[in-house]
Amino acid sequence: MPLPSQLEGRLRVPVVAAPMFLVSGPELVIETCKAGALGTLPALNQRTTAGLDEWLTRIDEELGATPGSAPYGVNLIAHRTNPRLQADLEVIVEHEVPLVITSLGAATEVVEAVHSYGGLVFHDVTGVAHARKAAAVGVDGLILVSAGAGGHAGSLNPFALMAEVRPWFEGTILLAGCLSTGRDVLAARAMGADLAYLGTRFIATEESMASDGYREMIVDAGAADIVYTPAISTIPANFLRESIVAAGLDPEHLAEPEKVDLSHVTNPHAEGEGGAVPAKPTSEAKAWRDIWSAGQGSGAIDAVLPARDLVVRLAEEYEAAREQLCGGGTR
Ligand SMILES: Cc1cc2nc3c(=O)[nH]c(=O)nc-3n(C[C@H](O)[C@H](O)[C@H](O)COP(=O)(O)O)c2cc1C
């Protein structure tokens, strides 16, 4: 599919740096966009709507002063338990944020508000039923979050997910899960994605808000160091094993959550940043802040880089892979 006109010709490489709770802030967005990939951040990484307004003002100014920058995006948790949804959406409309990424709910109101100024809405899904619901409310793009992704990953193989969505969805498709290199980005395109959605790879950048320990743990980790469990966030998510151990928990014997409680994600600033670990009351550690999420793509991440260098590297790897595979060779 061609990219929507708002994005066509605006990206140096078909990459979106995915929004990550407590990790993506304005520095990462600005440097990513200046280098030519689409940078994003979750609205809830700011404690207040006024703070979000300040961040967006800064991003608009910096990117406005740098011709050729890629557009940016903001992630909205479009769930009824997010008390800031309406206020944050108003600020997004005021700033005419080019891309809004919705998660945990696709709402007609959000789509209408963003379309009113010509913006785009992409929605992330881990399965086909939610993809159909989001398509029905008119989102412009679907983000297919497959098994092994950082954060609240899905459990479906990316080929299987793509095969069940690409044939009927006419909008933009992004693939997420374990994409770390430019060659991976090309593979996602070959599978039918228009854009690649990279989270974990962007944690290991100098501009991410992750601590040094978090970044280094990702550089050192392989896929076997990632634990997929509902115990930390009450719905299944991927976490670095070593950070679970450091929090005093046994990754092999994590308690099953009694019920799904996403308030630490949808209303994170209510009880302290990051929310408490729901399933382990004896631990002082907090999900996301102390128990660190990352995807199985960690194994391909070998260094912490400035975001600019990462985007340049992704673009070079992408072109080299394309040349090698499509450059007229015999195989
Ligand atoms: C630390 C962390 C925090 C995340 N926070 C969010 C979030 O706030 N909102 C969201 O839509 N996705 C969130 N995600 C998911 C990412 O946006 C993206 O789907 C995922 O990282 C892609 O898979 P990858 O990490 O294998 O590249 C998070 C992922 C990580 C690793």
| Amino acid 330: pLDDT | 54
CA 225 – CA 58 distance, rounded (Å): 37
Helix axes of 128-136 and 158-165: crossing angle, nearest 10 degrees: 40
Residue 93's contacts (CB-CB under 8 Å, 6 or more residues apart) are 113, 114, 116, 117
- 279, pLDDT greater than 50: no
Decide: 147 and 153 in contact? Cβ < 8 Å.
yes
| Amino acid 189: pLDDT | 98
DSSP bridge pairs for 197 = 16, 176
Decide: 134 and 292 in contact? Cβ < 8 Å.
no
* Residue 19 CA to ligand 1 centre (angstroms): 6
* Residue 324 CA to ligand 1 centre (angstroms): 31
Which of 20, 145, 262 to mutate for ligand 1's pocket (most ligand atoms within 8 Å of CB)?
20
User: Which atom of ligand 1 sits closest to the CA of residue 210?
Assistant: 1
- 276, pLDDT greater than 70: no
Q: What is the pLDDT of residues 76-135, one digit of tens each?
A: 999 888 999 999 999 999 999 999 999 998 889 999 999 999 999 999 999 999 999 999
* Residue 153 CA to ligand 1 centre (angstroms): 8
| Amino acid 266: pLDDT | 80
User: Which atom of ligand 1 sits closest to the CA of residue 150?
Assistant: 25
| Helix (H), strand (E) at residue 176 | strand 172-176
**Which amino acid is located at 169 in the chain?**
F
Give the DSSP letter of residue 194. Answer: S
User: Which atom of ligand 1 sits closest to the CA of residue 104?
Assistant: 11
Decide: 192 and 265 in contact? Cβ < 8 Å.
no
Q: Give the DSSP letter string of 233-296.
A: TSS-EEEEHHHHHHTT--GGGPPPPSS---HHHHSTTSSSTT-B-TT-TT---BBTTTB-B--G
Q: What is the pLDDT of residues 12-30, one digit of tens each?
A: 999 999 999 999 999 999 9
* Residue 323 CA to ligand 1 centre (angstroms): 30
Decide: 75 and 103 in contact? Cβ < 8 Å.
yes
DSSP bridge pairs for 198 = 17
- Label residue 262 by pLDDT band (50, 70, 90): confident
* Residue 21 CA to ligand 1 centre (angstroms): 7
Helix axes of 182-191 and 158-165: crossing angle, nearest 10 degrees: 40
User: Which atom of ligand 1 sits closest to the CA of residue 151?
Assistant: 29
| Amino acid 286: pLDDT | 84
Taking the complete model, does pTM exceed 0.85, yes or no? yes
| Amino acid 260: pLDDT | 80
* Residue 199 CA to ligand 1 centre (angstroms): 5
Percent of the chain with pLDDT over 70: 95
Q: How far is CA 13 from CA 2, 36, 106, 185, in A?
A: 14, 7, 27, 9
CA angle 163, 165, 166 (to 5 degrees): 75
- Label residue 281 by pLDDT band (50, 70, 90): very low
Residues with CB under 6 A from ligand 1: 18-21, 23, 42, 75, 103, 124, 145, 149-151, 176-179, 197-200, 293-295, 297
**Mean pLDDT, residues 260-285 taken together:** 63
| Amino acid 107: pLDDT | 84
Region of 22 please: left (phi>0), alpha (psi -120 to 50) or beta: left
Two structure tokens written together for 244: 């679970």
* Residue 331 CA to ligand 1 centre (angstroms): 35
CA 331 – CA 328 distance, rounded (Å): 8
Rounded mean pLDDT of the chain? Answer: 93
